[in-house]
A and B are shown apart, each in its own frame.
Chain A
Amino acid sequence: MPQIVVENLCKTFRVAERDPGFWGAIRGLASRRYRDVEAVRGISFSLDEGELVGYIGPNGAGKSTTVKILSGILVPDSGKCEVLGVTPWRNRTHYVGKIGVVFGQRTQLWWDLPVVESLELLRDIYRVPNDQYQRTRDELVAMLDLAPLLDVPVRQLSLGQRMRCDLAGSLLHQPRILFLDEPTIGLDAVSKLALRDFVKRLNRERGVTVILTTHDMDDIEALCSRVILIGRGEILSDGPLELLRRRVANERRLIIDLEDEAQQIEDEDAEILSRDRARVCLKFDPTRISTADLISRVTSRYAVRDLFVENPPIEEIVAQLYQEAQV
């Protein structure tokens, strides 16, 4: 039985519009035009317990709207949604005690209080028993390296530090499901790695279901076994990362370092993507020619010093899919 079931979810926002400039503002006083923005149009998917799913899509695709509906703070216009066997927006106050949510662009910690007091406040709000709180807090402090931060007022934390504390705050009540809405936004490389590592451990060791929205494809590659791509409020693709790659093009790249810089290179089944002195990048379709065949053909024809095969960067794939979604 899946932990999260979403069926045909729709949500439309009504946006007031006016013409730009001064006269537009004046006209807007007399008559208001509204435009309906369909943020989510008939989304369906289901998630099992312990899955770690990446939820990606261009800005305005409906990612955050979906997360907000799933976490019970937005009410959809139509459609069904069941998380942990209940409908999130009915009996919201009860439901939200069982999930954890982190919005990367906001903080749930109290700006003026030291981190530890924010955590204690969350303990009281979530009615976490004190011994459980001590245990969970100590674990989180160790995993997220929070010890030096506990007595610092939240307003003095760097973004990376704050995000780690926010994560700890969302997990004190030991939720079975964690929603992360752009948790790595604005973080430096070290903080991103630490955060990914933590999320991975949380999912592997504790079996916490994680839904992650992000624009950082490294997050997806490092973490997600399954990726849901959404564009203009509809699901464009749902499956393992490999599926996403295959959807765009069955494309692989062979990068060759030639012995001779001046050597010209050509192959009937591959296309030269770029050439930088001795390094050549070939693009080929593995269904037309197997990687092994191509390699043996190239090495037999030319003097090759080194070569390796790679997948096209996920960014390119997603950019291409995003473009298709805009059409």
Chain B
Amino acid sequence: MKSYLAILSARFRVLLQYRMAAAAGFGTQLFWGLIRMMIFQAFYDSSSAAQPISRADVVTYIWLGQALLGFLPWNLDSDIRAMVRNGTVAYELLRPVDLYGAWYMRALAQRTAPTILRAIPLLLVAGLFFGMRPPANAHDLVCWIVTTLGAIAFSCAFTTLMNVTLVVTVSGEGVARFMPPLVYTLSGMLIPISLLPAWLIPIVNILPFRALVDTPFRAYLGQLPDREFAFALAHQLVWTIVCVIAGRAMLTRSVRRMVIQGG
């Protein structure tokens, strides 16, 4: 276990040193948050029908999303991509650790370190100036923390699966372009899932991506009744396990047929 924690902590430290990236990310997220607020403002102004999610809750939903955007499995690990392209991945195979475990730790650092760095100031600013509210009570807070941990576990399993496809495709261009819109839309990051067309909601509910945004954010807003909470947690867990098994299988298979590029 110590080996894996060492990999996690080293990756975490490396990622924490990119201060300019954090500052730029903060600015970008703030800008897009304001634009999204205006879009939803216009939407609520133009509709007189009752909406499944209140105007005030949408504001909180948006800022939570802007702050925690980096938790989403939307990109590949550029180091792994480079390693697979130039053959340095050979060194990864020379370590006396389970490669999947090591790459999962990399994903965990990749998903959390930069996100935490920019989420804290963003949540502060959004809470002070833009009408984001804290959880209504301790129950909601606990549910939010638990489902957020579930979301991170799933996100890292999915990120690792994406990274493993690099070993097969080498390029990764397809995954890199295809995943962001899919993840944004189906997780509820773009629009809260309850605002999607009625026919789409059951499909999105079964698909894995709502575990990332819809589940924890609804817990935060107190819109996840206990029965649904248990179901949502099981949903996160099952999809995490599916991704881990798929990722492991694909990695084992491709390592056996791997060709180390160059030299």
- What residues of chain A have their CB less than 8 Å away from a CB belonging to chain B? 13, 64, 68, 71-75, 92-94, 96-97, 99, 101, 103, 105-108, 110, 112-113, 117, 120-121, 124-127, 181-182
Q: Is A103 within 8 A of B256, CB to CB?
A: no
Q: Is A125 within 8 A of B95, CB to CB?
A: yes
Given the interface pairs A64-B263, A106-B86, the reply to whether A96 lies near B96 with Cβ below 8 Å is yes
- Chain B nearest CB: distance from A53 CB in Å? 19
Given the interface pairs A92-B93, A127-B2, A182-B263, the reply to whether A110 lies near B88 with Cβ below 8 Å is no
In the bound complex, how far is the Cα of B24 from the Cα of A90, in angstroms? 47
In the bound complex, how far is the Cα of B28 from the Cα of A2, in angstroms? 62
Q: Which residues of A sit under 8 angstroms from B14, Cβ to Cβ?
A: 110, 112-113
Instruction: Give residues 10-25 of B contacting A (CB, 8 Å).
Output: 10, 13-14, 17
> Smallest CB-CB separation from B96: which chain A residue?
A97
Q: Is B17 within 8 A of A96, CB to CB?
A: no
- Chain B nearest CB: distance from A60 CB in Å? 11
Q: Which residues of B sit under 8 angstroms from A110, Cβ to Cβ?
A: 10, 14
- Chain B nearest CB: distance from A72 CB in Å? 7
Q: Is B263 within 8 A of A181, CB to CB?
A: yes
What are 14 A-B pairs at a CB distance below 8 A?
Answer: A13-B259, A64-B263, A72-B93, A73-B93, A92-B93, A94-B96, A96-B96, A101-B91, A107-B88, A110-B10, A110-B14, A113-B10, A121-B7, A181-B263
Chain A CB within 8 A of B173 CB:
no
Instruction: Give residues 95-151 of B contacting A (CB, 8 Å).
Output: 95-99
Q: Which of B86, B88, B96, B258 has the most CB of A within 10 A?
A: B96
Q: Is A75 within 8 A of B3, CB to CB?
A: no
Q: Is B94 within 8 A of A73, CB to CB?
A: yes
Q: Is A96 within 8 A of B10, CB to CB?
A: no
Chain A CB within 8 A of B6 CB:
yes
In the bound complex, how far is the Cα of B87 from the Cα of A106, in angstroms? 8
Contact of A125 among B87, B96, B257, B259 (CB under 8 A): B96
> Smallest CB-CB separation from B101: which chain A residue?
A93
In the bound complex, how far is the Cα of B87 from the Cα of A179, in angstroms? 17
Q: Which residues of A sit under 8 angstroms from B94, Cβ to Cβ?
A: 71-73, 96, 99, 101, 108
Instruction: Give residues 51-109 of B contacting A (CB, 8 Å).
Output: 86-88, 90-91, 93-99
Q: Which residues of A sit under 8 angstroms from B96, Cβ to Cβ?
A: 93-94, 96-97, 125-127
Q: Is B10 within 8 A of A93, CB to CB?
A: no
In the bound complex, how far is the Cα of B258 from the Cα of A93, in angstroms? 16
Chain A CB within 8 A of B260 CB:
yes
In the bound complex, how far is the Cα of B9 from the Cα of A117, in angstroms? 11
Chain A CB within 8 A of B174 CB:
no
Q: Is B90 within 8 A of A103, CB to CB?
A: yes
Which are the 3 A-B pairs with shortest beta-carbon distances? A97-B96, A124-B6, A73-B93
Q: Is B10 within 8 A of A121, CB to CB?
A: yes
Chain A CB within 8 A of B262 CB:
yes
